[in-house]
A and B are shown apart, each in its own frame.
Chain A
Amino acid sequence: MAKDVRLLETALVPEAALAAFAAAHPQAGGIVSFTGKVRPDGDVEALELSHYERLTLPGMETLADDTLGRWPLDGLLIQHRIGVMRPGDAIVLVAAAARHRRDAFQAADFAMDHLKSDAWFWKREKRADGWHWIEPRAQDHADRHRWNQDTDLAP
């Protein structure tokens, strides 16, 4: 099974997920992973991610298929939290297992850029004065756009 895509309502434990992923792909020459966490800065007390059942997981599955179609990977892992998280909690984990390192680095980078800008999640933060919805960041769209321009990054 090349792809493993999940939405998690409870704690994402990157160490355990990566150990299982590595065990599932013993033939891989290397594994690149990225863990995104709730940034412990400012006065943010909590962060909540909401999703839409009919779009969010299907969209992540499509992204995984696109990523597997662009690079020769042995496996791709995408785990994303929903619900309420605290600073320091893991939100997202992407791991790519491949025969060669560049494919793994690029696939993980590609999947993260698209998760940040395209995936169906809505985020709000709780600060001392209550909950605030977070607007999309222009930087996330610019990061994703690199993949349209930089065609030599793709195989």
Chain B
Amino acid sequence: MSVTLVFLGKLADLAGAPERAVEAPLDWSSLVEALDGPLGDAVAGEKVRVAVNGTVLPEKTALFAEHGDEVALLPPVSGG
């Protein structure tokens, strides 16, 4: 029973890998608990957005993910 976390941009460097499996179910407090140190601080910061299965959450603290879900952690974009 696991949720896949996907780290984008510099969060992948902080995490040391582009993906990580964490225990399901996952809510906001268990996510922050699972990510300690600078990675946890960055994800909790106001600029990082969260998507579940490709849908960006209007309010990331409302996160709820179950077994098989993919949770993406999205820092500010810098494209083009």
- B12's nearest neighbour on chain A, judged by CB, is A50
The answer to whether B72 touches A134 (Cβ under 8 A) is no
Give bound CA distance, A115 to B80, whole Å. Answer: 6
Count of A-B residue pairs with CB < 8 Å:
66
Give bound CA distance, A50 to B10, whole Å. Answer: 10
Q: Is B1 an interface residue (CB 8 A)?
A: no
The answer to whether B78 touches A135 (Cβ under 8 A) is yes
Q: Contacts A50-B8, A133-B9 hold; do A55 and B79 have CB atoms under 8 A apart?
A: no
Chain B contact residue count (CB 8 A cutoff): 19
The answer to whether A122 touches B77 (Cβ under 8 A) is yes
Q: Contacts A36-B80, A122-B75 hold; do A54 and B10 have CB atoms under 8 A apart?
A: no
Q: Is A121 an interface residue (CB 8 A)?
A: yes
29 pairs, CB–CB < 8 Å, chain A vs chain B: A49-B79, A50-B9, A52-B6, A52-B8, A52-B74, A54-B53, A54-B54, A55-B51, A55-B54, A80-B80, A91-B80, A92-B80, A112-B80, A119-B79, A120-B8, A120-B74, A120-B77, A120-B79, A121-B78, A122-B9, A122-B10, A122-B75, A122-B77, A122-B79, A123-B78, A124-B10, A133-B10, A133-B78, A134-B78
Give bound CA distance, A150 to B76, whole Å. Answer: 25
- B11's nearest neighbour on chain A, judged by CB, is A122
Give bound CA distance, A137 to B78, whole Å. Answer: 7
The answer to whether B80 touches A136 (Cβ under 8 A) is no
Give bound CA distance, A72 to B2, whole Å. Answer: 47
Q: Is B70 an interface residue (CB 8 A)?
A: yes
Give bound CA distance, A117 to B80, whole Å. Answer: 8
Question: Which residues from chain A contact B70 at a C-beta distance below 8 Å?
Answer: 54
Question: Which residues from chain A contact B62 at a C-beta distance below 8 Å?
Answer: none
9 interchain residue pairs of minimum CB distance: A121-B79, A54-B54, A122-B9, A116-B80, A133-B10, A134-B78, A123-B78, A119-B79, A136-B76
- Rounded to whole Å, the gap between the CB of A16 and the closest CB of chain B is 21
Known contacts A116-B79, A136-B78, then 18 further A-B pairs from the complex at CB < 8 Å, ordered by chain A residue: A36-B80, A50-B8, A50-B9, A52-B72, A52-B74, A54-B53, A54-B54, A54-B70, A54-B72, A80-B79, A91-B80, A116-B80, A118-B77, A120-B74, A121-B77, A121-B79, A122-B78, A133-B78
